[in-house]
Structure 1
Amino acid sequence: MATFRAIGGKCRALMAAASSSATTAAKSATAKKPKRPSSSSSPSATPPLKGFSKPIPVSPILSDFIGSPEASRTAAVKKVWEHIKLNNLQNPANKREIICDEKLKALFSGKDRVGFLEIAKLLSQHFVKTG
């Protein structure tokens, strides 16, 4: 038993020394790091919009529906869903099916009913290809 206590006491002393040196090393490492400017300091430095969130010119039909000559794909889909919800155009028996009114028929090539997964595909023809 005496040997176990002697070893245990030395281990505690070694562990205490190791933890105190690690703490001082961590403090000195954080003190050496230069501070980066915060992102809130320059509000005009927002990254440019790319991909689906970039506004691009749209067809006259979609422009009349949205009320803007340019729109992002996500914004256009959101506007269509707002119209669907506002006018209660989802089929009550099958929520995945949209019953088109006259405005949506103009957007969706005259279709009477559209699946909700088809909306983005049918809207893609109204975005002007650039480049």
Structure 2
Amino acid sequence: MAANTTTKKKPSAFMKPVQVSEALAEIVGKGPMARTEVTKKLWDYIKKNKLQDPKNKRNINPDAKLAKVFGSSASIDMFKMTSKVSKHLKEAEAR
């Protein structure tokens, strides 16, 4: 039998709205917004301000705003960036 096509899929955890910290809001704007949107806006900021290391594109060289989020002004690998950013996100309260 064919599956019922009228049932809606449960949205993924990445699409759930999250609240962003004040430090992160300076970069991506006020929440709540989906994690995917936070990531997109973060990368837009990094590219706009040319914060990717030109020699090693995997590294991000934070400016003052991004250093507040990462907790350091030292260069960071883009794959480690996610764990630093996740500390600035919390699930938005249901209404």
What root-mean-square deviation, in Å, do the aligned CA atoms of Structure 1 and Structure 2 show?
2.5
Residue 78 (structure 2) aligns with: 116
AA paired with 1:52?
F
Q: Which has the higher strand share?
A: 2
TM-score (normalizing by structure 1) = 0.58
From 66, 85, 89, the equivalent of 2:47 is 85
Greater C-alpha Rg: 1
How is 1:27-46 mapped onto 2 (pairs within 5 angstroms)?
A: none
Structure 1 gap ranges (5+)? 1-35, 40-44
TM-score (normalizing by structure 2) = 0.77
Aligned to 1:128, the other structure's residue is in SS state: strand
Bigger drift between 62-71 and 97-106 goes to 62-71
Q: Which has the higher helix share?
A: 1
Runs of 4+ residues deviating >6 angstroms: none
* Identity, % of aligned positions: 31
Residue 58 (structure 2) aligns with: 96
Higher relative contact order (CA 8 A, sep 6+): 2
AA paired with 1:100?
P
Confirm or deny: 8 A CA contact 2:15 2:36 kept in the other structure.
yes
AA paired with 2:24?
L
